[in-house]
Structure formats: C-alpha cells, structure tokens
Amino acid sequence: MHSFHYRNAALHCEEVDLSALAEDHGTPLYVYSAATIRDHYRRLSSALSGLDHHIAYAVKANSNLSILKMLADEGAGFDIVSGGELFRVLSAGGDAAGCTFAGVGKTRDEIKYALEEGIYCFNAESEAELCFIDKVAGELGKVAPVALRVNPNVDAKTHKYISTGKSENKFGVDFDNIAGIYAHAAREMKNISLRGLQMHIGSQLTSVQPFVEAVEKVAPLAAQLKTDHQIEFFSIGGGIGIVYEDSLASGSRDWWEEQSGEDKPLTLEEYAQAIIPTLEPLGLKILLEPGRMIAGNAGVLLSRVLYRKQGAAKVFAIVDAGMGDLIRPALYQGHHDIIPVTESGRKTETIDVVGPICESGDFFAQNRELPGLEEGELIALLSAGAYGFVMASNYNSRPFPAEILVDGSEARLIRKRQGFDDLISGEIL
C-alpha cells in the first residue's frame, strides 16, 4: 500500500494536506508516510512468517534517524555499509547486534568501530578483506563474526548500475572459490568466526525468476557451509522492485497484490512462495536486506514550478528541485511519476520538467504528457522515498531540502532545511 491520495482535489499524505506542508516548510520538500513504511515492513515479515528470518533494512535507501528509529521499534535489524551508517543506527536507538556490515571497501577504522560496538556480522567481499578483518580483530583481542558475500553470477535483469550479481561486477567472491576460502579461514584465521553466507544480486528486480535462480544455485553451498563450518545464517540480500510508473493511478492501493503481472513488480507472496521451499530445509536463519521495497513508495519530493519556458523545440517547466535533490533520473534514467498537488481537470501537454542546475542532465521528465503545469504551482515527484535524499548533493551550492514524516494527521519535521551557513561550515578560509 501507499498513503498518497487526492482528497477534494488536494494531494494528501495520510491525513495531511501536502500543499499546507509546502507552505509551512517551503520546497523542495521530502515527505514520507510512516504508515506506509510500517506496512511494508510488516507485510514482508508476514509473507515470510513460515521461515526463521530476520529483516535487516538496507540503511542506504533512506537513513533519516526517525525512519531508522521507527524500523528499530518494529524489530528490524540493519544492513549498513559504512561507519557513518552504523553511527546513524546507534544514534537512532538501533542495536549493533542486529547489524550486518556490507561493502567492498571497509577501512580499519570502520572495522574497529563495528567490532567495538559488537555488530552481528561483517559481510566480507574478498579474501583480502577477510584477512584484514582477521588482523584488525587480532589487534583488538576480539573475534570478528564474518560471512562471505558470494557472487552467484546470475543476471538480475535490472539497470546495469544496480546489477551486482554477475561475475564482471566488483561485488562478492566467485562462487567456485567460496568453499576454499572458508576452509582457509577456518584453518588459519584465528580471530574470525564463520557465521554466515551472504548474496545480493541487484536492486529493483521486477521478476521473481532471478531471485529463484540465485537461491537455488547458492542454497547447496549454504548447506555445505553449515555442515563444514556450522554457519548460522544465509542472507539473500535485498532487491525487491517497486512500481514507479502509474503509481498513483487509483489513489491508495495495494502494491504487491494488485500490481503483479508480466512487467509489474512481483508480489511479496509470489516472492516468498518461490523461495521458501528452497530455503526452509536449510535450517538456517534467513536474512533479508530490503531497502527500496520498504521506503521507495513511502516518500514524495514536493517542488514548485518556478517558470514555464517556451523553447524553440520544447516546452519546459523549470522547478525548484534539481538533480542535487533527486538524482535517479539523471543517473539511472529512473522514472518518477509527476503529479500536480492540486488536481484539476486541465488538458495535458507534452513537456520537459527540469531543475535549476547547470547541467543538461538535470531533468525529471522529458517529452512527458502531463497536465498543463502553471507557474507557482506545486508538483509531487512520486516514489522518491528510497535513494532520494540519501543521494542528495550540494552541487551548485544548493542547500539540502527539509524532510517531513507524516503519521496519521501528524506531520513532524525530521530534518531541517539547510541554510547557507551549513553550506560553508567546515570550510577553512
């Protein structure tokens, strides 16, 4: 489900009128729905209820403290990829013992920090990294829990920048080498305990087939590692895709129930039913690392149309949000639906929606059929809750937008808009 809908022609998030929020807090403005985030978490957990599982939310998707706190309260663990993300989890009241630490390039300081805080497991991505974790743990007189990330060489059939499970990607360890490295680690690395096996084949997967292929390929390896090294978990990563196009078509609705079909994201039930038969007999704890699935459709970016511009070849709506606020269209040709915050029965036109940044790549839509947009009006870029704010930059010295969390009829500022002082703080003249 999601909680964005028109009420008397005014776009609302749950019970809150979005144009009122924009008046109070200015634009660009990120707005998230707490009910949607909680619903997505619970829905995934209940689809997997037949399985001994643990959901480690991928912090990178949306790392605002209030969102992490809400998920910690739901019982989620966290998949982190940096010392900074661990700091965020702890600052939000999360528990290091529920965190997995992924990423190909962990530094000494990050390993030390995570060991001192007592994280659940490092997901190591190379033999070199495993050796280094062993060394750092030894220096601290600690034993580091580790899993290796296996690269199953499966095509995730997603955008090439977010595909991670093919052998040409930098991620994970070649499938054929895994067993040898575990044996080597068990023999020689005294400061390591082999706790699990991990994989993640990519993000925004809209079909269940690559998940099934990867799980079926790697499950026998997990079983063997359980026998040989008594590992306790198998993490199957994140990657569940969401609906980006026509996402508001009929107002609030059930994403993973009504959207299944040929080219639509898989349903959670379909996902669960396809993988549980292979995973359950392993008798291992199954970890999942969803990010986008939890937060993606739970957020919008509100922006105001500054100008209409009639170019020689096109009409442009120049808006006050830019690629610095939401980079997905520029980086991945990502589609985000754009809708007016005040619905009206106006005629559509073909238009480019662009930001104010000095780059031709700074656009949100090109040649898109949209209701005629007027100067001064508000638009909402949908499905911006994941990989939105977290990827923001200050390029062109534009301050970060504010973030709001709506819960029922309550709207809470969860990050202040940056000011000019924030832009130069830390610089030395």
Which residues are designated catalytic? 358
Site for ligand LLP in 37-66 (CB under 6 A): 58, 61
List Cβ<8 Å contacts ≥24 apart for 56-60: 56/98, 56/99, 56/100, 56/235, 56/287, 56/288, 56/289, 57/289, 57/290, 57/291, 57/294, 58/238, 58/289, 58/290, 58/291, 58/292, 59/85, 59/88, 59/89, 59/291, 60/85, 60/291, 60/387, 60/390
Q: Rounded to the nearest whole angstrom, what is the least distance from the CB of residue 386 to ligand LLP in the complex?
A: 6
- Separation of alpha carbons 101 and 79, rounded Å: 6
> Does 328 participate in binding ligand LLP (rule CB under 6 A)?
yes
User: Which of the stretches 15-23, 175-183, 284-292, 407-415 binds ligand LLP when contact is defined by CB under 6 A?
Assistant: 284-292
Nearer to ligand LLP, 1 or 331 (CB): 331
Q: Is 329 in the site for ligand LLP (CB under 6 A)?
A: no
Span 78-107, contacts to ligand LLP by CB under 6 A: 79, 102
**Under rule CB under 6 A, residue 210 binds ligand LLP:** no
**Strand ranges (DSSP E) for 44-92?**
53-58, 77-80
Q: How far is CA 167 from CA 162, 201, 383, 407, in A?
A: 14, 10, 31, 43
Using the rule CB under 6 A, which residue among 132, 175, 316, 332 binds ligand LLP? 332
Distance CA 385, CA 321 (A): 15
Nearer residue to ligand LLP within complex by CB, 151 or 303: 151
Tell me how many residues contact ligand LLP (CB under 6 A): 20
d(CA 191, CA 63): 31
**Under rule CB under 6 A, residue 364 binds ligand LLP:** no
CB of residue 62 to ligand LLP, shortest distance in Å: 9
Binding residue for ligand LLP, selected from 32, 78, 363, 387, defined by CB under 6 A: 387
Which residue, 270 or 343, is less far from ligand LLP as judged by CB?
270
Residue 19: partners with Cβ closer than 8 Å, 6 or more residues away: 10, 11, 341, 342, 378
- Considering the complex, what minimum distance in angstroms separates the CB of residue 227 from ligand LLP? 25
Q: Is 208 in the site for ligand LLP (CB under 6 A)?
A: no
From CA 121, how far away is CA 294, in angstroms rounded? 22
Binding mask 289-308 for ligand LLP (x = CB under 6 A): xxxxx---------------
List residues near ligand LLP by CB under 6 A: 58, 61, 79, 102, 162, 200, 203-204, 237-240, 289-293, 328, 332, 387
